[in-house]
Structure 1
Amino acid sequence: MGKSKGEYSFSTCWNIKRHTVGSEMIEEIRALGFQRVELNYNVTNELLATIEPMIEGGEIGVSSVHSTFPYNADPDYGTDSVLLGFDDEEKRKRAIDLLLLTAEYANRYGAQAVVVHPGEVPFDYNIDNELKGIYKEQGRDSEAYMKLWNEMLERRESLSDHYLRRIQHSLEEACDRIAAKGWDIAIGIETRSRCYQMPTLLEAKTVIDRMKGAPVGLWYDFGHGMMMERMGLYDNMLEMDSIKENVVGVHIHETIGLSDHWCPYVHSGDMTYFDRFLPIIAAAEVKVYELKAACKPEEIEASHDLLISKLASIKE
């Protein structure tokens, strides 16, 4: 049994592929010392059948619920889609309905927040995948990378304001409906792992500033932020100050090269890079580890110990 992790929560993305019975999945997370979980978007109604009694009985707390929830097999409303930014009004309304459904579950489970991947600037193919391939083979400074990156950036920048306004409009509708129901739920728009996806830190800031007073903030996913920094989309260190007051929650994990969801410090062996995120972790209302299945319990324990000791030394 791992030591108690206090206020820290843990995403079911770590072990969801290993379980067909929800209660067993939650027990495995509890054995790491976590008293709270984030229910991710792959949680099905079948898994919920045995998780809900645990929530109702107080055996496990729910920090956050990741939209679209419960699991929805339609790729149009998956985690890598235009989602809240659809130009097709029927699809956009459907995306808002699904966000409301997630919020309804969050409210029922006593969660503080809903995590949402708000949208993207659509491309007719996965240009991010191609860019990452060139990055790995030839490097970010290669001619091939620079050429394709500039093509991506030109389209992204020319269309980002349009899609950002669509996303904002959808979030406003969702917030009005959540307020009408009297639910006390924050919506966290998550920093993403593909370069054409939204928001960047500054795009998030733009939406949040335009929606003053609405329960919308940034869900800062550090691993994705590191990935986008390496690819050249934004600089976390330069831009995090402008957004740090608007963070509702965080996904704690680290990226090695362009591979994410590793245990901070432990897997990279880098004892300093991740430190830049510590003040944001300290201030965040909701702190969630989002780790991949390859992370072993003893590595999770070691990583958390390092994180806690580093946070303690900041306080001093």
Structure 2
Amino acid sequence: MQHIDKGIYSFSTCWNIRKHDVGEDMIREIADLGFRRVELNYNVTKEMLTTIEPMIERGEIGISSVHNTFPHDPDPDYGTDSILLGFEDEVKRKRAIELLVESAEYAQRYGGEAVVVHPGEVPFPEDISKDLGKIYNEEGPDSLKYRSKWAELMERREALSSGYVEKIIASLDEVCNRTAAKGLDVRFGIETRSRPQQIPTLAEAKTIITALKGAPVGIWYDTGHAIMMDRLGLYDSVGEMQGLMDDIVGVHIHETLGLSDHWCPYVHSKDMNFYDAYLPMIRRAQVKVYELKSACKAEEIHESHDLLMKKLGVTE
């Protein structure tokens, strides 16, 4: 059964990619929800594209955006949780630049408006975000144990982040020069991330965007990730965004339960007010994408979208 047209709103393939081997089947399931546009995420393979591309060519589906690294690259050095554009190793950094340019080429080919970019992170010898999450859930953010581990994270982050930010700026500058030379008309959205050692904070995003003034680089405001970073104590996800409102390229729409993300706004939290603070970012974004987990059911997605449209004052 085809549900009501979701208009300009797009839907990420992260929702159902793990249940499909054939790209066309994955896209048809999303289209059956009423979405005319999709975001192709970083797990979409070249093999999947062989059946998705004909659908794009026939006008059966539109592409709003692709998520770097695209198509899927199995090398963890260029995965979603890596140093990526901040590599000090020049060979690796150049490779990361090439992969981002390739993502932009795919976006242009498919009529997409933007590429979602994970810029990089401050590397840690252990997964400190996992340790922090465990302490947060078991003892709370006000506990001595949490504050001690958080101080450990921030000491290393603050000591090293500026060097990685500089590398990211240089990498994005090269990417933009290369895509301009190729005549590509897509924007790059540097995404708010889900782990506190990852770049950017909102202040770092402003630094990067300001340094690249005039380039097609802005922020990709992932609402759920920003909520998590706010809860952990990395930044003020609403207050600090005010200085970035003119720089929003796109948004990922999802809500969090504690530190668990990618849930349907309003529906899973049962809170009819909390997510309202993020509506101005959604309004401002050029590209609006639901990024939900597979546990979200079709009827919950429809209910969440209806609630969001009412909150935004959109009549369908």
* Normalised TM-score (structure 1): 0.98
Question: In the alignment, which residue of structure 1 is the partner of 2:3?
Answer: 2
CA–CA distance in structure 1, aligned partners of residues 27 and 49 of structure 2: 10
In the TM superposition, residue 186 of structure 1 has moved relative to its aligned partner by 0.1
C-alpha offsets along residues 122-168 of structure 1, whole Å, 9 cap, x if unaligned?
Answer: 11111000000010111101111100100100110111111100000
Q: What is the letter of the counterpart of residue 136 of structure 2?
A: Y
Q: What is the letter of the counterpart of residue 218 of structure 1?
A: I
Question: In the alignment, which residue of structure 2 is the partner of 1:79?
Answer: 80
Cα RMSD over matched residues? 0.9
Gapped runs of 5+ residues in structure 2? Answer: none
Q: What is the letter of the counterpart of residue 41 of structure 2?
A: N
Match status 1:105 vs 2:115: no
Question: In the alignment, which residue of structure 2 is the partner of 1:137?
Answer: 138
Match status 1:203 vs 2:204: yes
Question: In the alignment, which residue of structure 2 is the partner of 1:57?
Answer: 58
Question: In the alignment, which residue of structure 2 is the partner of 1:174?
Answer: 175
Q: Give the alignment of 1:293-308 within 5 angstroms.
A: 293-308=294-309
In the TM superposition, residue 280 of structure 1 has moved relative to its aligned partner by 1.2
C-alpha offsets along residues 18-51 of structure 1, whole Å, 9 cap, x if unaligned?
Answer: 1011111000000000000000000011111100
2:4 counterpart SS class: coil
Question: In the alignment, which residue of structure 2 is the partner of 1:214?
Answer: 215
2:159 counterpart SS class: helix
Q: What is the letter of the counterpart of residue 227 of structure 1?
A: M
In the TM superposition, residue 88 of structure 1 has moved relative to its aligned partner by 0.3
C-alpha offsets along residues 214-260 of structure 1, whole Å, 9 cap, x if unaligned?
Answer: 00000000000000000000011210101111000000000100000
Question: In the alignment, which residue of structure 1 is the partner of 2:15?
Answer: 14
2:307 counterpart SS class: helix
Q: What is the letter of the counterpart of residue 161 of structure 1?
A: S
CA–CA distance in structure 2, aligned partners of residues 104 and 236 of structure 1: 32
Q: What is the letter of the counterpart of residue 120 of structure 1?
A: E
1:236 counterpart SS class: coil
C-alpha offsets along residues 275-312 of structure 1, whole Å, 9 cap, x if unaligned?
Answer: 01111111110000000000000000000000000000
Question: In the alignment, which residue of structure 2 is the partner of 1:264?
Answer: 265
Q: Give the alignment of 1:218-233 within 5 angstroms.
A: 218-233=219-234
Question: In the alignment, which residue of structure 2 is the partner of 1:29?
Answer: 30
C-alpha offsets along residues 80-115 of structure 1, whole Å, 9 cap, x if unaligned?
Answer: 000000000000000000001111100100100000
CA–CA distance in structure 1, aligned partners of residues 181 and 46 of structure 2: 26
CA–CA distance in structure 2, aligned partners of residues 267 and 18 of structure 1: 22
CA–CA distance in structure 1, aligned partners of residues 60 and 91 of structure 2: 40
Question: In the alignment, which residue of structure 1 is the partner of 2:159?
Answer: 158
Question: In the alignment, which residue of structure 2 is the partner of 1:42?
Answer: 43
Q: What is the letter of the counterpart of residue 231 of structure 1?
A: L
Q: What is the letter of the counterpart of residue 110 of structure 2?
A: Y
CA–CA distance in structure 1, aligned partners of residues 126 and 77 of structure 2: 15
In the TM superposition, residue 213 of structure 1 has moved relative to its aligned partner by 0.2
CA–CA distance in structure 2, aligned partners of residues 247 and 219 of structure 1: 6
The structure 1 segments of at least 4 consecutive aligned residues displaced by more than 6 Å after TM superposition are none
CA–CA distance in structure 2, aligned partners of residues 29 and 247 of structure 1: 25
Question: In the alignment, which residue of structure 1 is the partner of 2:116?
Answer: 115
State the aligned residue count. Answer: 314
